[in-house]
């Protein structure tokens, strides 16, 4: 898809729909999940992050059953990035290939995992604006007198 990602309906409602695009009040809602158990294959760091994030995302109402695989991958990436950070602290950021220095593999791993984590954060609503977007979009908001005045054609 080219261009910006479409803004979720909840954010349109919060921001007052400045673009005046038609709001989809029938937007499907994912099936909510409360306190899902961590996948067994996650290591200690990943499982700890799973418990923390799944609890927070459940409270905010933005964790759906469809998001569990993305959250699992996020926890795996986080654990791998932590290991890469430890390797960087222990061994530095460069290694020698014969007579020339090159970027260490753990640094490249950290960079790749960080990029993937940012994508996953965006996809499951872990950005700042998305976390504040917990509003119920059940019905169209009532038009105020000021809204009616603004919508009149000026002649």
Mean pLDDT, the chain cut into blocks of 10 residues (155 residues total)? 69 71 77 89 97 88 88 97 97 93 95 95 72 52 62 57
151 is a domain residue: no
155 is a domain residue: no
Asked whether 70 and 91 are in contact (CB, 8 A), the reply is no
Structural domain boundaries, residue 99:
9-145
Q: How many domains are there within the chain?
A: 1
Helix (H, G, I), strand (E, B) or coil at 61: coil
Interatomic CA distance for residues 88 and 94, integer angstroms: 9
103 is a domain residue: yes
Interatomic CA distance for residues 126 and 120, integer angstroms: 8
- pTM higher than 0.75 for the full model? no
61 is a domain residue: yes
114 is a domain residue: yes
- State residue 90's pLDDT score: 96
Asked whether 71 and 88 are in contact (CB, 8 A), the reply is no
- State residue 136's pLDDT score: 53
Tokens 């002649």 belong to 155
4 is a domain residue: no
59 is a domain residue: yes
150 is a domain residue: no
- State residue 35's pLDDT score: 85
- State residue 155's pLDDT score: 47
């Amino acid at each position: 898809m080219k261009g910006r990602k479409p803004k979720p309906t909840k954010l349109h409602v919060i921001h007052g729909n400045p673009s005046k695009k038609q709001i989809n009040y029938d937007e499907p809602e994912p099936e909510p999940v409360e306190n899902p158990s961590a996948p067994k294959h996650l290591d200690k760091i990943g499982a700890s992050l799973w418990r923390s994030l799944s609890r927070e995302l459940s409270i905010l109402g933005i964790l759906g059953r469809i998001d569990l695989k993305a959250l699992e991958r996020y926890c795996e990436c986080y654990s791998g990035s932590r290991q890469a950070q430890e390797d960087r602290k222990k061994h530095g950021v460069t290694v020698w290939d014969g007579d020339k220095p090159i970027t260490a593999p753990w640094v490249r791993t950290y960079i790749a995992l960080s990029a993937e984590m940012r994508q996953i954060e965006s996809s499951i609503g872990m950005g700042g604006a998305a976390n504040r977007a917990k509003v119920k979009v059940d019905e169209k908001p009532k038009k105020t007198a000021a809204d009616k005045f603004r919508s009149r054609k000026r002649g």
